[in-house]
């Protein structure tokens, strides 16, 4: 994935109204999503909440929800992802990150 597509995905995320991006899930790879998907499904299907899924995974298809309440964005693992974490404004962020405090989140504003 090129950096231009990652920036386009970042911009699509930022253009969402705040109420549609107040809950965000981040998965570094597709292997993380199976831990996060049950909670995302519960929020979108049972509670009718809108959820954003951000990922650095370059190859696997992005998830979707039948209700249309899941927005998915591929932000890569480089500069765009770092910029995203530095400027992220959400109410709830759900993620699995083994290196918490070492990379992107350490530099978060």
What tens-digit pLDDT sequence spans the chain (109 residues)? 588 999 999 999 999 999 999 999 998 888 888 889 999 999 999 999 999 999 998 888 888 777 789 999 999 888 899 899 888 899 999 988 666 556 555 555 5
pTM of the model: 0.83
Report the pLDDT value the prediction gives residue 38, as an integer from 0 to 100: 93
Token pair for residue 75? Answer: 């932000």
Q: Which residues contact 58 (CB under 8 A, 6 or more apart)?
A: 1, 74, 76
| Residue 10 Cα to chain centre, angstroms | 10
């Amino acid at each position: 994935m090129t950096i231009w597509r990652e920036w386009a995905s970042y911009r699509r995320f930022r253009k969402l109204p705040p109420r549609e991006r107040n809950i965000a899930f981040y998965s570094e790879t597709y292997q993380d999503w199976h831990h996060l998907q049950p909670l995302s499904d519960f929020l979108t299907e049972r509670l009718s909440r809108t959820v954003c899924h951000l990922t650095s995974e370059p190859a696997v298809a992005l998830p979707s929800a039948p209700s249309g309440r899941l927005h998915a964005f591929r932000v890569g693992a480089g500069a765009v992802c770092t910029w995203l974490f530095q400027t992220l404004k959400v109410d709830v962020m759900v993620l699995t990150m083994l290196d918490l405090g070492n990379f992107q989140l350490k530099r978060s504003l």
